[in-house]
Amino acid sequence: MSSIKHLVYAVIRFLREQSQMDAYTSDEQESLEVAIQCLETVFKISPEDTHLAVSQPLTEMFTNSFCKNDVLPLSNSVPEDVGKADQLKDEGNNHMKEENYAAAVDCYTQAIDLDPNNAVYYCNRAAAQSKLGHYTDAIKDCEKAIAIDSKYSKAYGRMGLALTAINKFEEAVTSYQKALDLDPENDSYKSNLKIAEQKLREVSSPTGTGLSFDMASLINNPAFIS
């Protein structure tokens, strides 16, 4: 039962964080509060039970668990391979600047083949995939980058962009919030979070569609390339 309480406490913490977001209507926030109260009653948990807190947020635990089977095992990359991989990454970055996104994907893929546990390569490939409109592939690459480095703010930011592009605004908000937790002074994350929250409010509104926005202005930001 102890492990179950740890899990429920993490769920309650997640729901409480969501209930404080501006993206939800007052009725939705009230529903979240009711859900929290029900869980606290059933499992006899109170906010003071901080000893039940776990080290990672629920979303981070989910991401790591979801991706762990997709990440290649630790490799025995030799220094020569690591150096070549970094060179390929630089070539990919140059292709990105030249707007040759397919070639950039190829370079990053080769870099990953040589050094499969470098989060930067997955994150950069995600940027190229987004430029090509391959948003699902971009999300997968961001998830792999996060599974390797859970503190990689740029991976969360780029995942937010890809999620926004396919109208998964709620997930995008969560990604941007995590990016800002890790890099609180990043103006791009702040701006993109506001956009995602606004779109989430629009799609939640009976009269809103939430589908009209300039995705190109987001992914063409110079900060999108590293």
Position 78 scores a pLDDT of: 63
| Rounded-to-integer distance, Cα 35 and Cα 106, Å | 47
Whether 162 contacts 156, CB under 8 Å: no
The string of pLDDT tens digits covering residues 17-40 is 787 776 667 778 888 888 989 988
pTM of the model: 0.62
Distances (CA, A) of 66 to 132, 143, 147: 25, 8, 9
Task: Say if 65 falls within a structural domain.
Answer: no
120 vs 214, higher pLDDT: 120
Residue 139: which domain range?
79-224
| Rounded-to-integer distance, Cα 212 and Cα 222, Å | 22
Position 52 scores a pLDDT of: 77
- Whether residue 141 is found in the same domain as residue 102: yes
- CA 135 to chain centroid, in Å, comes to 13
Position 23 scores a pLDDT of: 64
Q: What CATH number has the domain bearing residue 51?
A: 1.20.5.420
Position 2 scores a pLDDT of: 62
- Whether residue 178 is found in the same domain as residue 110: yes
- Counting every residue, how long is the chain? 226
Per-residue pLDDT averaged across 164-176, rounded? 94
Position 84 scores a pLDDT of: 93
Of the ranges 48-52, 109-113, 142-146, which one carries the lowest mean pLDDT score? 48-52
The string of pLDDT tens digits covering residues 121-137 is 999 999 999 999 999 99
- Whether residue 21 is found in the same domain as residue 86: no
> How many distinct structural domains can be found in the chain?
2
Q: Is 117 left (phi over 0), alpha (psi -120 to 50) or beta?
A: alpha
Position 77 scores a pLDDT of: 59
Task: Say if 141 falls within a structural domain.
Answer: yes
- Whether residue 32 is found in the same domain as residue 85: no
Per-residue pLDDT averaged across 195-220, rounded? 66
Residue type, 164: T
